[in-house]
Amino acid sequence: MPAPLGGVSARLPDFPWDKLTSYAATARAHPDGIVDLSVGTPVDPTPDVVADALRAAADSPGYPVTIGLVETRQAVIDWLGRRFGVRGLGLDAVLPVVGSKELIASMAFHLGVGPGDLVVHPELAYPTYEVGTALAGARSLATDSLTAIGPEVPAILWINSPSNPTGRVLGVEHLKKVVEWCRDRGTLLISDECYLECAWDPDNLPVSVLHPDVCGDSHEGILAIHSLSKQSNLGGYRCASVVGDPAVVKELLAVRKNLGLMMPGPQQHAMAAALADDEHVDAQHAVYAARRVRLKAALERAGFRVDHSEAALYLWSTRGEPCWETVAWLAERGILAAPGDFYGPAGAQHVRIAITATDERIDAAIARLDA
């Protein structure tokens, strides 16, 4: 008898959202229905400029190439330069990918990280960093302290600014220190920058790790990941990119070619159109900003304290009690939030509350919090 298939799932942490099922049922029982603020999924319309580009490219009978269209990669370069002051990128430094989550989950495996290797990610973090490390058979360490890593040299160090779940923004000096630390040790630094366009504090704007003030004139040893899901309402399009050290991008490209991982041609055209158009990004930013201001004020009136949250699409909130008690309190009012311990033990007294619901649902949540 052949050995049974499977076993990989045993290395993975439990899927956290399964634990929310009963609380979601409580929230759905509210007379006016659930206000689901647990997941940061876009709800506003896809911009016309993007949908039009997708329709125009719909006749796409041939296979796309893994490296992506020149115009798509150039659009990424132009966007990073125009919006975030990144310079010195060539076409060989950009690789379009099918969604940032797929890339993050597979990154360690695709770069040959495996048993015996260490991968470091933030203390409070998107669970996919840990999932990708486990899939590769490597060890993970959750810490924000470089000194806590000790003498071992990590294969990969992940940073996330603006942060999911906290909305925290890392400053230029901190980022410079991390870049220097990684370069001194030969550790690959990967910066998850999917919320770069979602900033709310003009005095604390996020900076890409690829900016010359952070990394100098070279992107050696650095990758940055960007997504259009948040800034352009393209969650369903799965448009993302990895940008940085051409040598590392070349290695990813070689692996992904062999696996047949490629972004569909129509989506590449849509991605280029989205990145070239600032108007829809600014308009969506204004919509989120207004929702955030109203919801934050209501949470504070209801006795919550909102920590960090200067960027991203969440309000990192606490009532000074175990997070599951807060989840239950909100669910009784028909509001579903994500418990902070989904993102690590340090989140045990916080909940993550998304600002991505419609205006009508945000207003419903505010009325319930004020009741």
Give per-residue pLDDT as tens, 126-145.
999 999 999 999 999 999 99
Give the CB-side neighbour count of residue 80, counting CA atoms within 13 A: 30
DSSP structure class, residue 164: T
C-alpha 230/C-alpha 219 separation (Å) is: 25
The 8-class DSSP code of residue 4 comes to: P
Residue 222 · residue 180 · CB < 8 Å: no
Please name the residue that has the structure tokens 């201001």.
293
- Amino acid of residue 108: A
CA nearest 221: which of 249, 192, 241, 193?
Answer: 249
| Token couple for 233 | 């309402």
Domains and CATH numbers, the chain: 8-45+280-370 (3.90.1150.10), 50-276 (3.40.640.10)
Angle between helices 48-56 and 265-276 (to 10 degrees): 150
Longest Cα–Cα distance of the chain, Å, equals 65
pTM: 0.94
For residue 188, the 8-state DSSP code is E
Question: Tokens 């759905």 appear where?
Answer: 28
- Give the model confidence (pLDDT) of 162-210 as tens digits: 999 999 999 999 999 999 999 999 999 999 999 999 999 999 999 999 9
Helix (H) or strand (E) holding 96: strand 94-98
Tens-level pLDDT at each residue, the chain (371 residues): 455 555 666 566 666 667 899 999 999 999 999 999 999 899 999 999 999 999 999 999 999 999 999 999 999 999 999 999 999 999 999 999 999 999 999 999 999 999 999 999 999 999 999 999 999 999 999 999 999 999 999 999 999 999 999 999 999 999 999 999 999 999 999 999 999 999 999 999 999 999 999 999 999 999 999 999 999 999 999 999 999 999 999 999 999 999 999 999 999 999 999 999 999 999 999 999 999 999 999 999 999 999 999 999 999 999 999 999 999 999 999 999 999 999 999 999 999 999 999 999 999 999 999 99
Residue 233, class by beta-carbon neighbours within 10 Å (0-12 exposed, 13-18 middle, 19+ buried)?
buried
